[in-house]
Amino acid sequence: MIDADMTLEETAEGIRSMGIRGAGRIARAAVEALDVHAASLPAATLDEFRAEMRRAADLLLATRPTAVSLPNAVRSVMRTLEADIPLDEVRSAFHEAARAFIASSTGAVDRIGEFGARHIRDGDVVMTHCNSEAALACIVAAHRQGKAIEVFATEVRPRNQGLLTIRRLNDEGIPTNYIVDSAVRTFINEADLVIVGADAITVNGAVANKIGTAPIALAAHEARTNVVVAAETYKFAPLTTLGDLIPIEERPAAEVLPDEVAATLPHVRVRNPAFDVTPAEYVDLIITEVGAIPPSMAWLIIRDYQGWSIEQFHRPFERA
């Protein structure tokens, strides 16, 4: 959901509470919020404008830690503030960068769908997890090409994003099996292919995605079923080239166990990581909007498509 009427604070809260969710949507919503905020800022000087925009960017960056699409998107538009030009020109450069990011983000999903559909054959059964617009783009494109496909979609405890996925698949008329997360190994032999999205991809091709992705990849590996990750180039994490790890968000215990039940179990601690990391060796292919790569080529995306260079490390805001 991108809503141009939402304030910066509403967007930040929407991302934090997961009303706005999914790495691509989070990125676009953050950029949209910054664009709207920039347009309404009464700043008199460029320094004032920069300072307030940095405060706004920091507010958005602090919402959810795992999806690298968020800092990558914010960085890509905040870069325009560094130009040494008059305030009015900075304002319009920022607006253009924001619109360009949003357009290229939605365009990327379409391209991924187009490329991804080529990996789905007529008659294939595809397993997916969580609710990824990039992964769904591949599945829906294959279906629209007339391929007779079937899907296994997981429930996705504890936030049940699988419901969003099965609604979309149902709306498209795609035959779908809805399964609990723990039924993955039972059905993996019926799947020809696993397609999932990504929140972050490290320089060595490991994939952070919704909790439960790694066990699916493990089951697929054992069953010799290919695992395809559908991810825009801005889901690659540049700072992993410098040794940073992907922070895994741990969400409130109440998402798993109601507080009143937890209160009766003083010796029990609920753990609720929202994401896990699938090692590159369990990923067969990553499909981006610039083509498919093996996970071992993740660095090329960071270098060639994000224009990442080591010098940026020394610029404090760029690292945000």
Catalytic positions are 130, 199
Instruction: Please provide the DSSP assignment of 166-199 as one string.
Output: HHHHHHHT--EEEE-GGGHHHHGGG-SEEEE--S
Burial-class residue 298 by CB neighbours within 10 Å (0-12, 13-18, 19+).
buried
When binding is defined by CB under 6 A, the residue of 33, 68, 70, 134 that contacts ligand RUB is 134
**Is position 158 an interface residue for ligand RUB (rule: CB under 6 A)?**
no
DSSP element (H, E) containing 96: helix 87-117
Which candidate, 271, 269, 265, places its Cα nearest to that of 251? Answer: 271
* Residue keyed to tokens 């996705």: 156
Q: Find the binder of ligand RUB among 199, 284, 289, 318 (CB under 6 A).
A: 199
Give me the helix-helix angle, 46-61 and 87-117, nearest 10°. Answer: 30
Q: Is 278 in the site for ligand RUB (CB under 6 A)?
A: no
The DSSP H or E segment spanning 286 is: strand 285-288
Binding residue for ligand RUB (CB under 6 A) from 161, 233, 278, 288?
A: 161
155 binds ligand RUB (CB under 6 A): no
Closest approach of Cβ 276 to ligand RUB, in Å?
10
Binds ligand RUB (CB under 6 A): choice among 6, 23, 70, 139: 23
Site stretch for ligand RUB (CB under 6 A), options 16-24, 47-55, 118-126, 294-302: 16-24
Residues 62-121 that bind ligand RUB (CB under 6 A): 67
Residue closest to ligand RUB, measured at CB: 197
Token reading at 12: 């930040």
> Residues 197, 109, 26, CA angle at the centre, nearest 5°?
65
Q: Is 133 near ligand RUB (CB under 6 A)?
A: yes
Cα–Cα distance for residue pair 128/172, rounded to 1 Å: 16
Q: Which is nearer to ligand RUB, 134 or 285 (CB)?
A: 134
For 103, residues 6+ apart whose C-beta sits below 8 A from its C-beta are none
Site membership for ligand RUB, residue 151 (CB under 6 A): no
* Torsion sign, CA atoms 81, 86, 91, 97: negative
Site residue total, ligand RUB (CB under 6 A): 16
CA separation for the pair 172, 143 (Å, rounded): 8
Segment interacting with ligand RUB (CB under 6 A) among 87-95, 125-133, 138-146, 238-246:
125-133
Instruction: Find the part of the chain contacting ligand RUB (CB under 6 A) among 21-29, 87-95, 118-126, 138-146.
Output: 21-29
* Joined tokens for residue 233: 């180039």
Query: What's the min distance (Å) between Cβ of 133 and ligand RUB?
Result: 4
Site for ligand RUB in 38-67 (CB under 6 A): 67
Q: Which of 6, 12, 14, 24 binds ligand RUB (CB under 6 A)?
A: 24
28 is a contact residue toward ligand RUB (CB under 6 A)? no
Question: Nearest approach, Cβ of 21 to ligand RUB (angstroms)?
Answer: 4
- The whole-angstrom separation of Cα 135 and Cα 293 is 15
Q: Which is nearer to ligand RUB, 25 or 75 (CB)?
A: 25
Closest CA to 151 of 180, 117, 191: 191
Instruction: Examine residue 22 and tell whether it contacts ligand RUB (CB under 6 A).
Output: yes
Report if residue 289 touches ligand RUB, rule: CB under 6 A. Answer: no
Contacts with ligand RUB, residue ranges (CB under 6 A)? 21-24, 67, 130, 132-134, 161, 197-199, 209-210, 274
